[in-house]
Amino acid sequence: MRKGLLIVVSGPSGCGKGTVLGKIDKDKLGLCYAVSATTRAMREGEVDGVNYHYLQESQFEKLIAEDKVLEYTKYCGNYYGTLREEVENRLAQGQDVLLEIEVDGGKNVKRLCPDAVLLFIAPPSIQELERRLRKRATETEKVIAERVSQAEREIKCAKYYDYIIINGELEKAISDVSSVITAEKISAQNKEKIIVEVLNS
Ligand code: 5GP
């Protein structure tokens, strides 16, 4: 059985990656999303186990000590991490798994899994990013300022990514992300796995 494809999507807070990823047809693309763990507070409308696994700091640190976290980072004062159980078995079973994580996590995943495909979603400009963060009205001014300066750092890291998709017009960004994933699933990098799959089915 072929091993699944690991897809990492990053992009600064407010670039619209949540909206883009919410709109791509993940069933048609044959993707499952890994649910990360975090110690940040739940936002209105979010659901435990769907958007994140919401943990206390001590619970998160226990998972790290038990080596149950594939990668993690501290972002704006909170832990965020990918749980091994959300990823490893699925990939081994041939499922394609998508991680939505920040850039340090993306770099770590590429180091741990060199076959992973890294996609970066960028806003058209920093001004537009700030406008979108304000419109979302889920964070205080202090957190917005922190996230804007973090965004500038993250955008510079996009050079480590395989693809950069500008989210100016939402429909175009959805179509670009879907096209990249479709192409990667049938790419030359996967050809050995695809041949084995064809011969064994
Ligand atoms: P938010 O608080 O807006 O949901 O997420 C803040 C940042 O944390 C986003 O850039 C998001 O992609 C990132 N993030 C979410 N889950 C993970 C994770 O498991 N690992 C890492 N490294 N970053 C994550």
pLDDT tens profile 88-120: 999 999 899 999 999 999 999 999 999 999 999
Amino acid at the residue 87:
V
Is residue 192 predicted with pLDDT exceeding 90?
no
Does residue 106 sit within a domain? yes
Domain count, the chain: 1
Q: Residue 136: what pLDDT?
A: 77
- pLDDT in the model for residue 2: 57
pLDDT tens column, 21-62: 999 999 999 999 999 999 999 999 999 999 999 999 999 999
Atom 3 (ligand 1) nearest CA: 13
Q: Is residue 133 part of a domain?
A: yes
Per-residue pLDDT tens for 137-183? Answer: 777 888 889 889 989 999 999 999 999 999 999 999 999 999 999 99
Domain annotation covers residue 1 = no
H or E element that contains 120: strand 117-122
Element (H, E) at 147: helix 141-156
Residues spanned by the domain of 50: 6-200
How far is 142 from 31, CA to CA, in rounded Å?
Answer: 36
Q: Is residue 156 part of a domain?
A: yes
Q: Which residue among 38, 48, 54, 55 has the greatest number of ligand 1 atoms within 8 angstroms of its CB, and so is best to mutate?
A: 38
Better-scored residue on pLDDT, 188 or 72: 72
Are residues 131 and 65 in contact, defined by beta-carbon separation less than 8 angstroms? Answer: no
CATH number at residue 84: 3.40.50.300
**Would residue 68 count as lying in a domain?**
yes
Residue 48 lies in a domain: yes
Q: What is the pTM for the complete model shown?
A: 0.90
Q: How far is the CA of 195 from the centre of ligand 1 (A)?
A: 35
Residue 1 above 80 pLDDT? Answer: no
